[in-house]
Chains A and B, each alone.
Chain A
Amino acid sequence: MNWTGILSIYRYEMTRFFRTLLQSFVSPVLSTSLYFVVFGAAIGSRIEEVDGVDYGAFIVPGLIMLSVMTQSTTNASFGIYFPKFIGTIYELLSAPINFLEIVIGYVGAAATKALFIGLVILGTSSLFVDLHIAHPLAMILFLVLTCLSFALMGFIIGIWAGNFEQLQLVPLLIVTPLVFLGGSFYSISMLPPIWQKITLFNPVVYLISGFRWSFFGQSDVPVAISLAAIFGFTLLCLGVIWWIFRTGWRIRS
């Protein structure tokens, strides 16, 4: 393994992040605060509690998931698409580094950034609501796995994308709607019965449910299924990455 190479990619990507640190820090703080004003104050005054949890606190895991999923996807997809777009990818292709090492560098950096933003949102949220995390280790595990798996997916999107529109397509048209419809801001049990069934086809439901369990000790679907879902998704992405690695799809002509 070319660890120095991996570290170089990771550090290079993180430098980009630190260059815009203020922006990276301010925007999640601001948007989280806005969510609390809108959802917490407006809707929260009508709902008050969901499954015995204060509504303000209830939406925190969903809020974190929403940002973490979109951030890791867009970070990773942009991270690898950009060198492809401006041509600097020639250097990655001619270096003594293999595709998996490239993936580790880019995905690792994208996941780190998303994790950082997730933690910023968690911190901001705790200023607005009283938070007790029931299973902190599980919480971290879910968070890290979500960052990683969505960064892997983002990397695949970045390799696949032929233009900037395609790059935006998946995060905008698939990830965001699935997260919003995945019970970020409500409990599945609040839906009409038919929708309770349909919604189970949304993979994000399992992730948010499991993540929420780590906060409040209760969930829409069993935690084991949530864990299986996140592991399954990670494996699926790794499988696709492996296939790209074998075939050089969209990278080497």
Chain B
Amino acid sequence: MSVILSIKDLRKSYAGGFEALKGVSLDIEEGEILALLGPNGAGKTTLISTVCGITTPTSGSVTVGGHDILTDFRAARSLIGLVPQDIFLEPFEKVWNTVRFSRGLFGKPRDDSKLEEILKKLSLWEKRLSPTKELSGGMKRRVLIAKALAHDPRVLFLDEPTAGVDVELRKDMWDIVAELKASGVTIILTTHYIEEAEAIADRVGVIRGGELLLVEEKDQLMQRMGRKQLEVQLTDPITEVPASLAHLNLELGQGGGSLIYTYDTRAERTGITALLNEVAQAGLVLADVQTRQSSLEDIFVGLVSEDVV
């Protein structure tokens, strides 16, 4: 595997003086899928915009396929496709025209069968003659993807491709990403959904306050992050965890009205059945049961306190 995108000590200060990227360094292997996670305002979009040429870096360097994005911008940008976070489309333009425009803009010769293939893959073929304003939000996002794919990019940036997208479409999107990966495209995507990173990424990067806190193989990270909690609501509050349940490492919930069980979703056995049995055997009456996944925010807090750099 070779490095297709190399970011070295990239800094970006906006005109107002705000430093949105504080020295980000990152190498991305050809053909991998990297998910960038981070809270609002972390600098994910800024990072993507800077690599793609929408904003100018303050310092540092970026190469794409070995081409510097400033001194050799034509070669670098030819390799990149970008699907922006917000939906930017000319409302009166037909789907077909706008996709064809994108291909031409990148200097590629007209290739109708190529565009047909892309539109069909994205289930947009029937809508090709519709003006974009007549499409649903999910369709518009797919038009943006079609535009980004129109020039055969080797590296594809997807900035929150599934924000506000329904479950089914989200799955479709994941399939599309998997197909692209299979065809050798390197994909960098941002998301606020950890399940999404889990479902499709090879590696996960966490960015916060303009700094890359960590980049790690997804599988390793998930093991550390994939904690889930099960809360058992009791009809009658208790003051302490019964001794017979001590081996389960339970915590007492607020006011003693519940028991909290923490488990690993990736473990072979989650131990939930045993837990519920034992709770009943201990003479406690269950009122309700709910589960909670550790949220992204929890994970950030965890990450920062662990001093991962």
Interface of A toward B, CB cutoff 8 Å:
2-5, 7-9, 11-12, 15, 19, 82-83, 86-88, 90-98, 248, 252-253
Contacts and interface: CB of A to CB of B under 8 A. Distances in A.
Contact of B101 (A8, A94, A252): A8
Contacts of B88: 86-88, 90-91
B60 interface: no
A152 to B, nearest CB: 21
B194 interface: no
A92 B73 CA distance: 13
B73 A15 contact: no
Interface string B79-105: 010101010111110000100111111
B201 to A, nearest CB: 23
Given A15-B97, A93-B53, A96-B78, A5 B84 contact: no
Interface residues on B, range: 20 to 34
Secondary structure at the A interface, as helix, strand, loop or mixed, is helix
Contacts of A4: 104, 107-109
A15 B14 CA distance: 36
Nearest to A9: B105
Contacts of A87: 84, 86, 88
A12 B101 contact: yes
A91 B77 contact: no
Contact of A253 (B15, B82, B147): B15
B114 interface: no
Given A4-B104, A4-B109, A87-B88, A96 B73 contact: yes
Interface in B22-57: 52-56
A253 B55 contact: yes
A167 B296 CA distance: 44
Contact of B105 (A15, A82, A91, A248): A91
Contacts of B92: 19
A94 B52 contact: yes
B56 A96 contact: no
Contacts of B74: 2, 96
A201 to B, nearest CB: 36
A56 to B, nearest CB: 40
Contacts of A92: 105
A90 B104 contact: no
A253 B14 contact: yes
B97 A96 contact: no
Contacts of A94: 52-54, 77, 80, 82
